[in-house]
Amino acid sequence: MKNKNIWITGASSGIGKQLALDLAQNNRVLISSRKVEMLNQVKQSNPNQIDVLPFDLADYHQAEQWVENAIKQFNEIDILVLNGGVSQRSLIIDTKIEVDERLIQIDYLANVALAKAILPYFIKKGGGHIVVVTSLLGKFGTPFRSGYAGAKHALHGFFDVLRQEHQKDGIEVTIICPGFVKTQVAFNALNENGEAQKAQDEATANGMDVDMFSKKMIKAISQKKKEVYIGKKEVLAVYVKRFFPNILDFIILRSKVR
């Protein structure tokens, strides 16, 4: 990918940050999140190619204004990467409903709102590319991640339909499903009370390096893949779920993954 104008949400750290750094080598990149100081640190790595547009995904009713601001700031947007979100680590029976609501708001509704807000622009422009980062848990569930898995499953349903309805308008949709990636996602995951658990877990610590993940993701975007699974051996669970669901349950219930 070269000479594209790319807007990335959730770009202050982790996957979004690495993606911005890699894409900025050959493209102009607009990065967003609520963490202004961290966004500015990312910008300083390549100030001529990276620009900043901060906002909080929790305020997703302002999505139309965010899109308007992005277009004014960037003049043109070719690719929107919806990467912002939050994870979870808590059992269903212990989890307050407010936590489920927040996961739906941040992981699902905020991404839906941004996609809906940019659609008229892409249609008028004659095309565009929406990339949404979900999770392997958008394909199957595991304990301690009920609300997160539910929100990610919902993203698959919505963006599959968006692709079908707007293919005629030249709009591409790529769904990226990460497995375990070495980021702070587990550290920031919500517990049963909606607070960050502030602890890394073994599976995430042993996950794919974020720079390798970013390269694989960029390749998938450039090839305009419809849906891609990126990770280590956990990717196999998608296919086990499809053909041998009872075996997957057996494996998950006996694993130590949390």
Best CA proximity match to 221, nearest among 110, 94, 81 = 81
Query: Rounded CA gap, 175 and 83, in Å?
Result: 11
Query: Rounded CA gap, 21 and 42, in Å?
Result: 8
* Domains assigned to the chain: 5-233 (3.40.50.720)
Task: Calculate what percentage of the chain has a pLDDT beyond 90.
Answer: 93
Residue with tokens 């499809």: 242
Strands (E), the chain: 5-9, 28-32, 50-52, 79-82, 128-133, 171-178, 227-230
Q: What does the pLDDT look like over 91-101, one tens digit per residue?
A: 999 999 999 99
Question: What does the pLDDT read at residue 257?
Answer: 64
Best CA proximity match to 143, nearest among 211, 182, 92 = 92
By three-state DSSP, how is residue 11 classified? coil
Question: What does the pLDDT read at residue 254?
Answer: 86
Average pLDDT, the chain: 96
Question: What does the pLDDT read at residue 217?
Answer: 98
Best CA proximity match to 29, nearest among 65, 83, 93 = 83
CA dist list (Å): 209 to 14, 123, 196: 10, 36, 23
Question: What does the pLDDT read at residue 256?
Answer: 66
Q: What does the pLDDT look like over 29-83, one tens digit per residue?
A: 999 999 999 999 999 999 999 999 999 999 999 999 999 999 999 999 999 999 9
Residue 124, both tokens: 């008028």
Question: What does the pLDDT read at residue 258?
Answer: 66
**pTM reported for the whole predicted model:** 0.95
Q: What does the pLDDT look like over 144-160, one tens digit per residue?
A: 999 999 999 999 999 99
> Which residues, listed in sequence order, are joined to residue 190 by a DSSP beta bridge?
88, 196
**Could you list the active site residues?**
148
Question: What does the pLDDT read at residue 58?
Answer: 97
CB 158 within 8 A of CB 171: no
Pairing of strands 227-230, 171-178: parallel
Question: Which residues in 63-75 are b (16+ Cβ under 10 Å) and which e?
Answer: beebbeebbeebe
Q: What does the pLDDT look like over 157-209, one tens digit per residue?
A: 999 999 999 999 999 999 999 999 999 998 899 999 999 998 988 889 999 99
